[in-house]
Amino acid sequence: MIDAVTLGVGALVALVALIALRMPIAYAMILVSGLGIAWLNGSALMLNQLKTLAYGQFSIHSLSVIPMFVLMGALAAKAGLSQALFRAADAWLGRLPGGAAMAAIAACAGFGSVCGSSLATASTMGRVALPELARYRYSGALATGTLAAGGVLGILIPPSVVLIVYAIITEANIVTMFMAAFVPGLIAVVLFLGVIALYVTLRPEAGPRGERVSREERRAATLGVIPVVAIFALVLGGIYAGLYNPTPAAAVGVFLVWLVGTLQGRLRLPQMIEALKETAGSSGMIYLILLGAEMMKIFMSRIGLPQETAAWIAGSGLTPMVVLLLLLLALIVLGCFLDSLSMILLVIPFFWPVLIELNGGIYQGAEGSGFGLSTDELNVWFGILALIVVELGLITPPVGMNVFVISSLAKNVPMIETFKGVAPFFAAEMLRVALLLIFPGIVLFLPRLLGG
């Protein structure tokens, strides 16, 4: 009889092999965990569990927020909100050295606040900003690297679909996670702007100044982003103020984006149908991955692999901070091969019990034990750190999905140049991780302030 640890490790190896063979991760997780449960308890139990689990998983009310925010982002892309954001940012920043690239970062942050998807942010802003950066004769590395890096802002700046999924699988409060992500998101924007300023200081020819904009043009461009600011304020402001929960907030966002797009004449029936189709496809994929992840979690819990791992690490003699650093390093490495959502669903169920154990247990975790945080605060802090290092996988080889997206739009720029352009932003992200590790209060400031 195969012992539990060997079976669990073998299942993980099989899962990685299937993913490497290009099987969709949802199908790979369902297949491996289904066969594992059938091996342990018989096929009848596995089929019955699959039936009841699917209904139980998909009927969770908190999951309804996912398709709403996905639809909000799809409608925002079709409504052309990205163009207005870039025009306004370029009107204010364009005359600075590297100003158009800075404008692209600011626009990515603004679009991420109504989109919630890194790939969608990179793709949409790439179509808008790349022609302008080419017109100003920006270097290929800086132009494509800026947009690939700017896309990662969509994964952390609320609302973020991946952030919502993390909150669901670790039973964290979605509103608290949104609060915690806000300040680290702003820090990323500031660091990215600093990277561009330093880049063009060292290489002035890489980011020439843009054209001078008249006061009237700047005023018109600024007025053009009022709808986006209003949507952001009403959706996230309403959540932070306690006026409504994330699901109705997302519904408010969908309505407002639809209203703005319709009044501006950019959202017609064909665009709305296309947005609905995109939402159905993306939401279906996310739900199926959630089902596979839940089956995988059940299988691994039955054989006790997460508990064995937690006990082994707790008894290794390593300090909690060293273990956390190793876990974050593992996430960076895995991010080179897996997409962000799949990685969160696959890895976090293993890592989170380890951190609870190191923090003194789910009831003992408090000031002075483990990380010096309560279990709830540790959940929030680790979630933000995990999402930041997960997003690094979007700009690192060999997967680097954001790099592939931007390269498909900038066909005249070799992919190696895009990776070179992304490298300074990667360094800035590592600096942000270091800041949040040393000062957890940066993440926990708003939850503590607004959470009372």
DSSP string spanning 83-125?
Answer: HHHHHHHHHHHTTSTTHHHHHHHHHHHHHHHHH--HHHHHHHH
Residue 230 within a domain? yes
Name the domain count of the chain.
2
Q: Where does a domain end: 248, 282, 316?
A: 282
Whether the Cβ atoms of residue 63 and residue 49 lie closer than 8 Å to each other: no
Query: ∠ CA 37-43-48 to the nearest 5 degrees?
Result: 85
CB atoms within 10 A of CB 29: 29
Residue 169 within a domain? yes
Let me know how many helices (H) and strands (E) the chain has, helices first: 22, 0
Q: Are 87 and 19 within one domain?
A: no
Cα 378 from Cα 196, distance rounded (Å): 33
How much is the pLDDT for 298? Answer: 82
Q: Are 100 and 205 within one domain?
A: yes
What is the distance in angstroms between the CA of the first residue and the CA of the last residue of the chain? 53
Q: Are 33 and 74 within one domain?
A: no
Residue 250 within a domain? yes
How much is the pLDDT for 432? Answer: 96
Q: Are 156 and 36 within one domain?
A: no
Counting as low any pLDDT under 50, the low residues of the chain are 1, 362-368, 452
Q: Where does a domain end: 234, 252, 282?
A: 282
Residue 317 within a domain? no
Residue 148 within a domain? yes
Q: Are 228 and 266 within one domain?
A: yes
Q: Are 148 and 290 within one domain?
A: no
Q: Are 17 and 83 within one domain?
A: no
CB atoms within 10 A of CB 380: 27
Q: Are 219 and 115 within one domain?
A: yes
Residue 80 within a domain? yes
How much is the pLDDT for 92? Answer: 93
How much is the pLDDT for 205? Answer: 93
How much is the pLDDT for 13? Answer: 86
Q: Are 299 and 165 within one domain?
A: no
Give me the residue label for tokens 């665009």: 271
Query: What are residue 436's phi and psi, to 5 degrees?
Result: -70, -30
**Amino acid at site 297:** K
Which residues make Cβ contacts (< 8 Å) with residue 290, sequence separation at least 6? Answer: 57, 63, 165, 168, 169, 345
Q: Are 229 and 136 within one domain?
A: yes
Which residues make Cβ contacts (< 8 Å) with residue 287, sequence separation at least 6? Answer: 57, 58, 63, 66
Residue 106 within a domain? yes
Residue 140 within a domain? yes
Which residues make Cβ contacts (< 8 Å) with residue 409, sequence separation at least 6? Answer: 123, 126, 127, 130
pTM, rounded to two decimals: 0.88
Q: Are 149 and 251 within one domain?
A: yes
Q: DSSP class of residue 245?
A: -
Show the tokens assigned to 309: 């791992």
Question: Where in the sequence is the domain holding 229, given as residue range(s)?
Answer: 64-282
How much is the pLDDT for 10? Answer: 86
How much is the pLDDT for 382? Answer: 95
Q: Are 87 and 196 within one domain?
A: yes
How much is the pLDDT for 4? Answer: 64
Cα 298 from Cα 320, distance rounded (Å): 26
